[in-house]
Chain A
Amino acid sequence: MTARLLAGIADGAGLREHERRYGPVPGRRPRRLIDIVEAAGLTGRGGAGFPAGRKMRSVAARPGRKAVVANGAEGEPASRKDRLLLSRLPHLVLDGITLAAAAVGADEAYLCVHGTESALLRRLDHAVAERQAAGLDPVPIQITGIPARYVSSEQSSIVQYLNGGPGKPTFSPPRPHERGVNGKPTLVHNVETLAHLAMIARHGDRWFRATGLPSAPGSMLVTVSGAVTRPGVYEIAMGTTAGEVIMRAGGPAERLQALLVGGYFGAWLPVETAWPVPMTHAGLKAAGGALGAGIVIAFPAAACPIAETARVVRYLAEESAMQCGPCRFGLPALADALASLAFSGDWGPCADDVAALIPLVERRGACRHPDGAAQLGRSLFTAFPADVHWHRWQGACDGVRRPPLLPLPGDEEREWDWG
């Protein structure tokens, strides 16, 4: 398919280049835009895949003024798509915010990114100033830095932070669409979702559906990394197979044993299982995985998935908000058990302990943070039964000597505060 969102990626990030490439934003009656988004079948591109139009309709239907939050705080270490959009095509996202604000009846609009990314914050402030000078955004868009913590980009965390609290998840109800920023019903959309919305407003629902599958229309951004020759962000038609995605990224750089799809909220899939799977929420779910925010990591045969998972779960444990007991105590215990299994082999009943800990953390937090770690851990057993068996009885494999492959932020890049 030809690029849609990324069509103007080489043009420069200014407002003039943006309008020349994508055309001006058409004026549409607010309710009509929600109808078109629903007819287009756009789903959220932040990971959960909820129908975007339905979310907008439920916010719009509530009484009073609303708020709109664009979530550009890309917490997944292996995802780069939101940063790419915001740094190279900021006006597409800003168009989407203004359209969404008009559609739901908002009088406040925020674009949230990690507060540590000062260069990006400056660029976005500049883009907003360009638009202000052109009189484009009736509701001013406030660029806001939020804590660069994994769970701070969860929607209830963002709402709590914007309301003056810490950037940590809250217990629901109320959910943001009921009571969010300043008590207003709040629409929280991922920035890629809003960029698609800006395209749908220009070209309509039938244009959107002309690519992708009838059940999963449109295009999506994917971030491909690991053992591929050209890692990076690609725009694909929804339903493209995972194998085709790897080939778009230049193909395997060495022999692969698995794909990790969906990032650290996703699941390991053996490469032969994953290769023909369509990149849709339903397709990956049926294969035992998750699409998440479109992250694909090609994992080489010579690396150890247990050692890599142990590192990631350790990171997730450190990123816990430490609010809920099962997450606070369960994730470090899971990380310890995985590390024992990876590096010490049959020193203890650690494989059994990993299996026992997973149900003890899953669905027991206020947010879904522990569920992601649990799903990743569980998929080790289904994707790599031979590796688990080897580690249980023989000890560490040769793969544990390889340098870490799954991307994690270095300690110096990480934020330890909550705002």
Chain B
Amino acid sequence: MRVTLRVNPIACTGHGMCAELLPEIIELDRWGYPVLVSPAVPRPLLEHARRAAQACPTLALLIEEKAGKHR
């Protein structure tokens, strides 16, 4: 299973919770919107990624699981 993150940019209003909970993958741009350093989530960060997705007030951070080998 390959796990990737995706932002729904229409739903995102730039609360920035995700960057706080998952700084390894998510940075904020100059307006406070998330920039994914890399969309792939390495296994050790999976739990943090799920927590970040659940914490998003607008549910704009999406975890997508695709069949295939996890990196």
A residues lining the B interface (CB < 8 Å): 169-171, 323-327, 329-330, 360, 364-366
Contact = CB atoms under 8 A, between A and B. Distances in A.
Contacts of A171: 8-11
Contacts of A364: 9, 33, 35
Nearest to B36: A364
B13 interface: yes
21 contacts: A170-B10, A171-B9, A323-B9, A323-B10, A324-B9, A324-B10, A325-B9, A325-B13, A325-B14, A325-B31, A325-B32, A325-B33, A326-B29, A326-B31, A327-B9, A329-B31, A360-B30, A360-B35, A364-B9, A364-B33, A365-B9
A366 B8 contact: yes
Contacts of B12: 324-325
Interface residues of B, number: 13
Contacts of B31: 325-326, 329-330
Contacts of A330: 31
A366 B10 CA distance: 7
Given A324-B12, A326-B31, 7 more contacts: A169-B10, A171-B8, A323-B10, A326-B9, A329-B31, A329-B33, A330-B31
Contacts, number: 36
A330 to B, nearest CB: 7
Contacts of A329: 31, 33
Nearest to A321: B10
Nearest to A356: B30
A283 B10 CA distance: 34
Nearest to B13: A325
Q: Looking at chain B's contact residues, is the secondary structure mostly helix, strand, loop, or mixed?
A: loop
A146 B9 CA distance: 24
Contacts of B8: 171, 366
Interface in B1-39: 8-14, 29-33, 35
B31 to A, nearest CB: 4
Contacts of B14: 325
A408 B15 CA distance: 36
Nearest to A324: B9
Top 7 closest pairs, chain A to chain B, by CB: A324-B9, A325-B33, A329-B31, A323-B10, A366-B10, A171-B8, A171-B10
B66 to A, nearest CB: 13
A329 B14 CA distance: 12
Contacts of B13: 325
Nearest to A361: B29
A27 to B, nearest CB: 44
Contacts of B30: 360
Contacts of B32: 325
A325 B13 CA distance: 7
Contacts of A366: 8-10
A329 B29 CA distance: 11
A364 B27 CA distance: 13
A366 B7 CA distance: 9
A29 to B, nearest CB: 37
A171 B29 CA distance: 21
A360 B36 CA distance: 11
A89 B13 CA distance: 45
A326 B7 CA distance: 12
A210 to B, nearest CB: 43
A169 B32 CA distance: 22
B64 to A, nearest CB: 10
A170 B35 CA distance: 20
B36 to A, nearest CB: 10
B28 to A, nearest CB: 10
Q: Taking each of B9, B29, B35, which has the highest tally of chain A beta carbons within 10 Å of its own beta carbon?
A: B9
A366 B8 CA distance: 7
Nearest to A360: B29
A83 to B, nearest CB: 30
